[in-house]
Structure 1
Amino acid sequence: MFSSSVQPGLVSLFSSTGSDPLSLFSSKADTSLQSDSFICLLHDATSQPAPSPPRSMITANDPDEDDAHAPTSPNYALDQTVLHIQSPTVKTTYILCPPAHLNGAIRGRGGGDLGLKHPWIHFQVRNMGREWAFEVGIVDQSGREGILRCSTFQKRPRLKLTNPPLLHLPLSFPTASSRPLTSWSAISLNLPSFLPHFSSASLAHTDDDDEADGPATARQLQGAQLQVPSGTYSHVSYVKVYATCRLRRIWFSEGGPQQRLPWEFQLYAAENP
């Protein structure tokens, strides 16, 4: 998708305030749950415009929050348009870049690769108090792909011996007891640093649903005959964001969280009336 393009040091893949925010994405919602599973743009502080019936919007939910840090507080939300992604079934509702089929190519293969070579990816996301996950396809210089999945429901790191291999990592938001200034977070990942973990026998399991088998042995890892990514990082093949969350921006950069960003990348809080 972008592999043959000149890539600046900072690339915004998604912005909820753009003229066509999902122009580079395909989206999917669970059609069997029409009232609970949908994707829409709205104002974060007011949750307007409300979705059309029969869709019913959830509100942020954190049982540990006190009144002083309630998600309905104006300063807790943004005075900006954001993307709302919700569903009780995480894996059935998501946005995906590149789109599921790009120029006839299947996502993550050949012409379907995203092709961005930046080592850092960043998400501006709001914790809605529900399960949430995202995935990034990571490719090494030999063209071997691995999937990095981060989720709030994963308890410990696991490497699933699928094709391509899946590295599933736990993710947590700041708790209400830490008194965060906002329910929004910026998540930054250094993608090359995850490549060695795709070769970790201690994380690998031959059956992700049966933990009694314990970690895979080195022989099992070799016997799986997987094309495990390792060595030098090349590029990102795809980005996938699941329910349930609110999303402001996704971008790639050459620098980490300390890199200076343009003003439009900042988060702007709603003011008290």
Structure 2
Amino acid sequence: MFRNTFQSGFLSILYSLGNEPLQLWSCQTPKEGEEGYENNEAHIERVADDLISSTVIELVSPNLSNTYITCPPHPQRTLGIKLPYLVLIIKNLDQYFSFEVQVLDDKEETRRFRASNYQITTRVKPYITTMPMRLDPGWNQIIFNLGDYVKKGYGTNYSETSRVTIHANCRIRRIYFTDRIYGEDELPAEFKLFLPVSS
């Protein structure tokens, strides 16, 4: 999708305030007979978040494995994003949550990294690494150093990101890639999460 695009600075793949925030994503919710289907327990929708006075994307389900969004939407396509830092601005809903990033390394091997708030230990297997993630209450900025994870997990170098999948349960403000870690004062205004100042 982005392989032939000049990539530097910031590359956003989801922004909840956009006209069509899920334009680059496919959405999966439970089918009839699956957990979460009855009573519309599971959903992916745009909602208002009172804390930040903004619309966000909400993924909620009693079974996070059958409720997710994935980018790109077509299974045979890949993102082709070479920027090594993935940043997610996510709200902790105090329920199980996970996300997965699929990357290509310099040996042309596909590696997957899955982070979740219910896993206790890190497990490195030949093609997937699963790891725990601690979320603070409320809104979180997760910075995922893909180059570092590929090097530590597999001893190879990061080439590009192929796919990003976000599972329930969370709220999303923005998902983007950067070429480096930026300080708060360097971020463009639309990439910042403005939390209310407590008095």
Match in the other structure for 2:5: 5
- Write the distance in 2 (CA, Å) between the matches of 1:6 and 1:40: 31
- 1:38-57 matches, within 5 Å, as 38-45=43-50
Match in the other structure for 1:265: 191
**Does structure 2 retain, via aligned residues, the 8 Å contact 1:79–1:268?**
no
What residue identity is the alignment partner of 2:192?
A: Q
Greater strand proportion:
2
Pair 1:241 & 2:196 matched: no
Pair 1:125 & 2:90 matched: yes
- Write the distance in 1 (CA, Å) between the matches of 2:72 and 2:61: 22
Match in the other structure for 1:91: 65
**Does structure 1 retain, via aligned residues, the 8 Å contact 2:26–2:69?**
yes
- Write the distance in 1 (CA, Å) between the matches of 2:195 and 2:2: 33
- Write the distance in 2 (CA, Å) between the matches of 1:271 and 1:174: 17
**Does structure 1 retain, via aligned residues, the 8 Å contact 2:151–2:158?**
no
- 1:77-226 matches, within 5 Å, as 77-99=51-73, 101=74, 106-107=75-76, 112-161=77-126, 165-174=127-136, 183-199=138-154
Match in the other structure for 2:175: 250
Question: When the two structures are aligned, how many residues end up with a matched partner?
Answer: 192
CA positional deviation for 1:159: 2.0
Q: CA RMSD in A?
A: 1.7
Structure possessing the higher radius of gyration over alpha carbons: 1
Identical-residue share of aligned pairs (%): 31
**Does structure 1 retain, via aligned residues, the 8 Å contact 2:106–2:159?**
yes
- Write the distance in 2 (CA, Å) between the matches of 1:133 and 1:171: 9
- Write the distance in 2 (CA, Å) between the matches of 1:93 and 1:197: 30
- Write the distance in 2 (CA, Å) between the matches of 1:146 and 1:98: 17
CA positional deviation for 1:238: 0.4
CA positional deviation for 1:266: 1.6
- Write the distance in 1 (CA, Å) between the matches of 2:139 and 2:147: 25
CA positional deviation for 1:257: 4.5
**Does structure 2 retain, via aligned residues, the 8 Å contact 1:16–1:247?**
yes
Q: Secondary structure at the match of 2:70?
A: strand
What residue identity is the alignment partner of 1:152?
A: N
- Write the distance in 2 (CA, Å) between the matches of 1:88 and 1:28: 14
Q: Summarize deviations over 1:85-125 as a string: whole Å, max 9, x none.
A: 000111110000001x2xxxx34xxxx11100001010000
- Provide TM-score, normalisation by structure 1: 0.67
- Write the distance in 2 (CA, Å) between the matches of 1:267 and 1:150: 22
What residue identity is the alignment partner of 2:191?
A: F
**Does structure 1 retain, via aligned residues, the 8 Å contact 2:8–2:83?**
no
User: Which range moved further: 112-121 or 252-261?
Assistant: 252-261
**Does structure 2 retain, via aligned residues, the 8 Å contact 1:125–1:184?**
yes
CA positional deviation for 1:174: 2.4
Q: Secondary structure at the match of 2:3?
A: coil
- Provide TM-score, normalisation by structure 2: 0.90
User: Which range moved further: 149-158 or 253-262?
Assistant: 253-262
**Does structure 2 retain, via aligned residues, the 8 Å contact 1:188–1:257?**
no
Structure 2, unaligned stretches of length 5 or more? none
Match in the other structure for 2:23: 23
User: Which range moved further: 249-258 or 21-30?
Assistant: 249-258
